[in-house]
Amino acid sequence: MDIGKSSFVVVANRLPVDRVTPRDGPTSWRRSPGGLVTALAPVMRSFDGAWVGWTGSRDDAPAPFSTDEMDLIAVPLSAEEIALYYEGFSNATLWPLYHDVIVAPEYHREWWEAYRRVNERFARAAADVADHGAIVFVQDYQLQLVPNILRQLRPDLKIGFFLHIPFPPGELFAQLPWRRQILEGLLGADLVGFQREGAADNFIGLAERYTDATAGDRQVVTADGRTVLARSFPISIDVSEITQLVSDPDVQARSDRIRSEVGSPKHILLGVDRLDYTKGIGHRLKAFDELLAGADVTPDEAVMVQVATPSRERVEAYQTLRDDIELQVGRMNGEYGTIGQPAVHYLHSSYERAELVSLLRAADVMVVTPLRDGMNLVAKEYVAARTDLGGALVLSEFAGAADELSDGAFLVNPHDIDGLKRALLAAMRLDAAEATQRMKLLRERVLGNDITRWAQNFLDTLRAV
């Protein structure tokens, strides 16, 4: 297939498609669910867009192909590179370092070398497909060196970068042996976007401290005289996807059935997270455990449903976390459960969107308690699903979403277990009028800034710099 040059190029660790391999018949590709690709699809269509990324399988290098009106350019990774660049440097160095060192980051020179090498490969692939003067939009922590490598290869391009996770304060970032290289990598962009203002401030301060750049207000000027804009662009969700699912009679019926299947309790508390140590799953279980232990609620009054989507299962910290959480759930169910009625419905599985939205609709209290989170889309999805203005949101102040949702949510510090217990009780005991009032405030915020608006804001700002 003939793949030409593109005037809009997205570079991300993963391609926005999954391979479908039927037993008989040729391989095809299906668009993976996700707000980012949904938001960028219209831009892709109008600008002959290309997406550069990894397929998710080792040594997989299909020739460039087109699907859904965008060109897809696969960047191959060997098994060793997956271990060193992806599981190692991305998910066992940067991920914990950028999330407040909740687990200790590991620093290994061979991981860094692989990260550098793989970033270069992504940058070259983008340079090859980008038309003269194209816009290139680079995504996330796995590819922080791409902006600068790309700038060297192709000074004609307009380069934007968005970090989906937090950018840490100087006290933590300073640990990174390659802190200067990472900052210089990002400074190759014209626009660097973050989830929160604080993250942009951290970046500007650190760029000034560890590179030759000088800092102005919301701007950094690099040694070569270029201006880099650093700002927050709080990401959001595809509201229309959720609204459509919620209005589906099957989803409504499924939601009612979920309620009865968990024993029609007065309160269903729900958590939906990738099984990740940043999400504070253990903290919320502990708070619920203590509420049951102190008889603040009884097991037939309140049940917790926790969806824990399998994630990064080859990284050691994730294996330990799984053991810890499953021990905790097992203990709670042994203590408070009865036949056919566990206190915690723990689901280590991934679900269809429709099932997820049915769960959101069935939940009286959505419990989102990360210890640190760039944004947290689940909190916003819950709000979008409550077209009935029902339900309550308990939300960690350490999630980026707290900046926008503080008016209607019950904000908590998840480390403060007594505070978390009080918030859970208050959310369960909320009267209908106040619940409606709070949900209206939440919905105003979420519906007023959806993913399309986010993409438009970012790209408009990038075009203008």
d(CA 138, CA 190): 11
Nearest to ligand GDG of 29, 141 (CB atom): 141
Q: Which of 132, 127, 135, 129 is nearest to 8 (CA)?
A: 135
Query: How far apart are alpha carbons 208 and 204 in whole angstroms?
Result: 6
- Measured at the CA of 394, the angle between CA 403 and CA 455, to 5 degrees, comes to 40
Task: Identify the sign of the CA torsion 423, 424, 426, 427.
Answer: positive
Q: Which of 39, 356, 359, 459 binds ligand GDG (CB under 6 A)?
A: 356
Among 47, 65, 107, 351, binds ligand GDG (CB under 6 A): 351
Pairwise CA distance, residues 400 & 235, whole Å: 9
Least gap, CB of 289 to ligand GDG (angstroms): 23
Point out the catalytic residue in the list 238, 273, 364, 373: 373
Write the binding mask 418 to 457 for ligand GDG: x where contact by CB under 6 A, - elsewhere.
Answer: ----------------------------------------
- In the annotation, is 373 catalytic? yes
Distance separating alpha carbons of residues 180 and 1, to the nearest angstrom: 41
Which residue among the candidates 164, 324, 348, 403 is catalytic per the annotation? 164
Active site residue 164: yes
| Whether the Cβ atoms of residue 9 and residue 49 lie closer than 8 Å to each other | yes
Is 350 a binding residue for ligand GDG by CB under 6 A? The answer is: yes
Long-range (24+ apart) CB contacts under 8 A made by 323-330 are 324/282, 325/275, 325/281, 325/282, 325/285, 328/282, 328/285, 328/286, 328/289, 329/285
* 375: contact with ligand GDG by CB under 6 A: yes
Among 265, 342, 374, 391, the residue binding ligand GDG under the rule CB under 6 A is: 374
Regarding 164 and contact with ligand GDG (CB under 6 A), the answer is yes
Question: Could you give the string, one character per residue 210-239, with x where binding to ligand GDG holds by CB under 6 A and - elsewhere?
Answer: -------------------------x----
Q: What is the CA radius of gyration of the chain?
A: 23
Nearest approach, Cβ of 299 to ligand GDG (angstroms)?
25
Q: In three state form, how does the secondary structure of 409-425 look?
A: CEEECCCCHHHHHHHHH
Q: Taking a C-beta distance cutoff of 8 angstroms, is the pair 286, 304 a contact?
A: no
> In this structure, are residues 392 and 410 in contact, taking their beta carbons and an 8 Å threshold?
yes
x/- track of binding to ligand GDG for residues 191-210 (CB under 6 A): --------------------
Cα–Cα dist 448/446, whole Å: 5
- Position 270 contacts ligand GDG (CB under 6 A): no
Contact with ligand GDG (CB under 6 A) among 376, 396, 449, 452: 376
- How big is the site for ligand GDG, counted in residues (CB under 6 A)? 18
Nearest approach, Cβ of 37 to ligand GDG (angstroms)? Answer: 12
Q: Which of 274, 286, 322, 443 binds ligand GDG (CB under 6 A)?
A: 274
Interface positions with ligand GDG (CB under 6 A) = 33, 164-165, 235, 272, 274, 309, 350-351, 353, 356, 373-378, 381
Q: List active site positions.
A: 164, 373
